[in-house]
């Protein structure tokens, strides 16, 4: 079987300025992969490349054995966000449904008249059940909490039975219990459904126990490998071109110390997280 | 003989439809209400009420210029709103500027449009009656051919909305995912503004530039307070717009006060009621 994502000698640039270059990586089907790195290092750029929204400035990108754009219908995508504010008067179930057929022109037929509309409604219910959002899917999405919205958005990304799931910082802006609950949910989807998951994260710790592989972008380059072979002082020091220390706490959490900020990040927790 | 309201609704209806001008007003009111209710629902969902308001204001210098140039006023309305929609699309295109940058640019356009309108009215000799009609509407001066034109525009706008509706809804509430799913969100945004311009130009001819909102925003905002289901919300928005325009025309016929006042008051009253009902009933009703 072909790889889920493969990059060979790939380089990316935005608005003419290079983001990273010389990246080789191979992500196998069914793996749970985290994309890490400081702000501005090109994590979201990597996702844009995989989605075919951005062409590589050098090298080759292949997604599910196809060109990125051609593979797009087989990809579920959850962008960085993006929360719905309280005045958004559309139900959660409608947002999930849009993920299924929202791009289609013309009016949808009511479920009472068409078997395919009933099948669509059943599919929507199935993924909402899968993410455990049945209790609140009928409510206006703006009135839900961040964790509830995030589950519905994951359901939306899953509703077309994608082979590859791209999640851009899905744990950001969630509180700690929700972070670990959503991380466990994503891993369960990955294992039970055989979906390849690529998750962009700020902090590796909530997902560290679930990961097969990490891709780490920094200093205009990217490396990949099993988490504990990449998140190491020598590997990261080489990547950043500066002395980096990795400390492991007794409970197994990894803390990266001494990362120079890439660009303009002002969050002070940047220093201690991966 | 002045019309007199009675408890006999059939007799009232007969009085209401005695004169052709009143029949045409009811027809035009119904057409405009259905169109404004539908496109207004999308406008409120997309948070483009300021853009819609600006298009309405832009229709005023358009109509004033047409009057000045002695060409049919309709050309002024449609020309100005069409150009206005394109200008708004160009401003909105600078996505990086964010919402606040966009609304500031739209506000600038609106102020300029108002200034132009007053210039044209001034050049025309400042006829106050004409100015009032441009701003507050001519519900009771609608001709048969105007009704036919309105009907054609409404059919065109509603057909376009039916075809674009689902991707437009997707793009409106979830732009980044819609874009990744292959929805041309920029193009949809421009097409929506043009449709909105068309609908505003048609509505403004009936309600005047300043009262467009009674039909475009208020019913849609009320409907979105009441239900979060897209299908029901659209139908409700259309039904409310239709109800306030016919009730407004009916009440105005039997009262000394203008139609515009009744239409705006009725729709505002419904909005306030919906707000009170939804906040009073707590979360249960808000989520219906």
Q: Higher confidence at residue B182 or residue B235? A: B235
Across the interface, whether the CB atoms of B177 and A78 are under 8 A apart is answered yes
Question: A131: domain range?
Answer: 5-271
* B221/chain A closest Cα distance in angstroms: 10
CA–CA separation, B237 vs A102, rounded Å?
A: 22
pLDDT, tens digit (0-9, with 9 covering 90-100), for A10-49 = 999 998 889 999 999 999 999 999 999 888 889 989 999 9
Tens-of-pLDDT digits for all 274 residues of chain A? 688 999 999 999 998 889 999 999 999 999 999 999 888 889 989 999 999 889 999 999 999 999 998 888 899 999 887 678 787 889 999 999 998 988 888 877 776 778 888 888 999 999 999 888 999 999 999 899 888 998 999 999 999 889 999 999 988 878 888 888 889 999 999 999 899 999 998 888 888 889 999 999 988 888 888 888 888 888 888 888 888 888 888 888 888 887 765 443 333 334 444 4
| Residue numbers in B near A88 (CB within 8 A) | 173
Q: At CA A49, angle to CA A46 and CA A51, rounded to 5?
A: 110
The strands making up A17-27's β-sheet, listed across from edge to edge, are A17-27, A5-14, A58-63
Q: Which residues contact B237 (CB under 8 A, 6 or more apart)?
A: B37, B38, B40, B41, B219, B220, B222, B223, B224
* A219/chain B closest Cα distance in angstroms: 26
Q: How many CA atoms lie within 13 A of A87 on its CB side?
A: 7
CATH, range B9-286: 1.10.3470.10
CA–CA separation, B61 vs B117, rounded Å?
A: 4
* B31/chain A closest Cα distance in angstroms: 21
Nearest to A97 by CA among A162, A159, A165: A159
pLDDT, tens digit (0-9, with 9 covering 90-100), for B149-174 = 999 999 999 999 999 999 999 999 88
Residue B1 scores a pLDDT above 60: no
- Residue B288's pLDDT band, with cuts at 50, 70 and 90, is very low
Residue B97 scores a pLDDT above 50: no
Residue B194 CA to chain centroid, in angstroms?
13
Residue B7: CB atoms within 10 A of its CB come to 6
* Mean confidence (pLDDT) of chain B: 85
Per-residue confidence (pLDDT) for residue B8, from 0 to 100: 79
For B22-47, what is the mean pLDDT? 93
Residue A90: CB atoms within 10 A of its CB come to 23
Q: What is the ipTM of this complex?
A: 0.79
CA–CA separation, B179 vs B185, rounded Å?
A: 6
Among A51, A99, A140, the residue with its CB nearest the CB of B287 is A140
Among A78, A88, A101, the residue with its CB nearest the CB of B173 is A88
For B175-200, what is the mean pLDDT? 91
For B170-193, what is the mean pLDDT? 89
Number of structural domains found in chain A: 1
Please, where are the H alpha helices in A52-197?
A: 68-71, 92-101, 115-130, 146-158, 176-193
DSSP A107: P
CA–CA separation, B79 vs B73, rounded Å?
A: 10
Nearest to A46 by CA among A15, A7, A73: A7
- Residue B281's pLDDT band, with cuts at 50, 70 and 90, is low
DSSP A261: P
Among A99, A105, A138, the residue with its CB nearest the CB of B164 is A105
CA–CA separation, A198 vs A190, rounded Å?
A: 10
Per-residue confidence (pLDDT) for residue B32, from 0 to 100: 93
Residue B130 scores a pLDDT above 80: no
Across the interface, whether the CB atoms of A98 and B287 are under 8 A apart is answered no
| Residue numbers in A near B187 (CB within 8 A) | none
**Least confident interval from A190-199, B35-44, B135-144:** B135-144
As a dihedral over the C-alpha atoms of residue B261, residue B263, residue B264, residue B265, rounded to 10 degrees, the angle is: 80
CA–CA separation, B267 vs B244, rounded Å?
A: 6
Residue B98 scores a pLDDT above 60: no
Pairing of strands A213-218, A221-225: antiparallel
Q: CA B116 → CA A19, A256, B128, distances in Å?
A: 48, 62, 16
CATH code for position A25: 3.40.50.300
Angle formed by the axes of helices B218-226 and B230-253, nearest 10°: 130
Please, where are the H alpha helices in A20-83?
A: 43-51, 68-71
Per-residue confidence (pLDDT) for residue B41, from 0 to 100: 95
CA–CA separation, A255 vs A273, rounded Å?
A: 6
DSSP A110: P
Pairing of strands A164-168, A196-200: parallel
Q: Higher confidence at residue A241 or residue B230? A: B230
| Residue numbers in A near B225 (CB within 8 A) | 89
Question: Do the beta carbons of residue B272 and residue B226 sit within 8 Å?
Answer: no
Question: Do the beta carbons of residue B229 and residue B160 sit within 8 Å?
Answer: no
What share of chain B has pLDDT > 70, as a percent? Answer: 90
- Residue B129's pLDDT band, with cuts at 50, 70 and 90, is low
Sign of the dihedral through C-alpha B52, B222, B281, B285: negative
Among B164, B181, B286, the residue with its CB nearest the CB of A140 is B286
**In chain B, where the domains are located:** 9-286
> A139: nearest CA in chain B?
B287
Helix (H, G, I), strand (E, B) or coil at B276: helix
For B26-49, what is the mean pLDDT? 93
Residue B104: CB atoms within 10 A of its CB come to 12
CA–CA separation, B114 vs A208, rounded Å?
A: 60
Q: CA A80 → CA A177, A197, B4, B184, distances in Å?
A: 20, 15, 62, 20
Question: Do the beta carbons of residue B25 and residue B142 sit within 8 Å?
Answer: yes
Chain B contact probe: residue of A75, A89, A148 with most B CBs at under 10 A: A89
> B288: nearest CA in chain A?
A139
Across the interface, whether the CB atoms of B181 and A103 are under 8 A apart is answered yes
| Residue numbers in A near B160 (CB within 8 A) | none
A18 Rama class: left (phi>0) / alpha (psi -120 to 50) / beta: beta
DSSP A66: B
């Amino acid at each position: 079987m072909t790889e889920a994502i493969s990059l060979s000698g790939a380089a990316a640039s935005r608005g003419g300025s290079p983001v990273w270059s010389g990246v080789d990586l191979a992500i196998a089907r069914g793996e749970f992969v985290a994309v890490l790195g400081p702000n501005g290092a090109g994590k979201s750029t990597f996702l844009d490349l995989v989605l075919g929204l951005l062409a590589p400035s050098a090298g080759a990108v292949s997604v599910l054995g196809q060109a990125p754009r051609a593979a797009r219908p087989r990809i579920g995508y959850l962008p960085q966000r993006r929360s719905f504010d309280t005045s958004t008067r559309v139900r959660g179930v409608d947002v999930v449904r849009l993920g299924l057929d929202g791009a289609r022109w013309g009016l949808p037929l009511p479920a009472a008249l068409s078997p395919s509309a009933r099948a669509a409604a059943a599919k929507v219910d199935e993924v909402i059940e899968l993410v455990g959002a049945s209790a609140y899917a009928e409510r206006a999405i703006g009135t839900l909490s961040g964790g509830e919205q995030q589950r519905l958005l994951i359901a939306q990304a899953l509703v077309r039975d994608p082979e590859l799931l791209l999640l851009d910082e899905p744990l950001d802006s969630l509180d700690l219990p929700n972070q670990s609950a959503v991380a466990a949910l994503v891993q369960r989807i990955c294992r039970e459904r055989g979906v390849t998951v690529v998750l962009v994260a700020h902090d590796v710790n909530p997902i560290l126990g679930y990961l097969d592989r990490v891709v780490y972008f920094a200093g205009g380059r990217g490396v990949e490998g099993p988490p504990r072979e990449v998140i190491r002082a020598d590997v990261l020091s080489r990547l950043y071109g500066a002395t980096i220390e990795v400390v492991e706490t007794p409970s197994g959490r990894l803390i990266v110390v001494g990362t120079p900020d890439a660009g303009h990040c002002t969050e002070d927790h940047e220093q201690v997280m991966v | 003989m002045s019309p007199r309201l009675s408890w006999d609704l059939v007799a009232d209806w007969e009085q209401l439809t005695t004169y052709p001008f009143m029949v045409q007003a009811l027809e035009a009111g119904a057409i405009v209400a259905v169109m404004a209710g539908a496109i207004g629902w999308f406008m409120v969902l997309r948070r483009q009420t300021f853009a819609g308001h600006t298009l309405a204001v832009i229709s005023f210098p358009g109509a004033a210029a047409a009057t000045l140039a002695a060409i049919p006023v309709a050309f002024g309305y449609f020309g100005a709103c069409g150009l206005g929609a394109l200008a708004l699309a160009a401003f909105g295109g600078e996505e990086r500027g964010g919402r606040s940058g966009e609304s500031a640019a739209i506000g600038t356009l609106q102020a300029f449009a108002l200034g132009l309108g007053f210039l044209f009215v001034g050049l025309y000799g400042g006829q106050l009656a004409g100015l009032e009609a441009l701003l507050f509407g001519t519900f009771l001066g609608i001709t048969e051919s105007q009704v036919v034109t309105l009907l054609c525009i409404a059919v065109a706008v509603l057909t376009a909305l039916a075809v674009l509706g689902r991707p437009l809804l997707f793009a409106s509430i979830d732009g980044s995912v819609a874009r990744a799913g292959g929805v041309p969100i920029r193009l949809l945004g421009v097409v929506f503004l043009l449709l909105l311009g068309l609908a505003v130009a048609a509505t403004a001819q009936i309600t005047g530039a300043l009262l467009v909102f009674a039909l475009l925003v208020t019913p849609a905002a009320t409907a979105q307070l009441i239900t979060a289901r897209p299908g029901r919300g659209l139908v409700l928005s259309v039904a409310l717009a239709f109800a306030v325009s016919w009730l407004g025309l009916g009440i105005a016929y039997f009262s000394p006060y203008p139609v515009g006042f009744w239409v705006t008051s009725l729709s505002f009253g419904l909005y306030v009621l919906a707000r009170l009902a939804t906040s009073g009933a707590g979360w249960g009703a808000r989520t219906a």
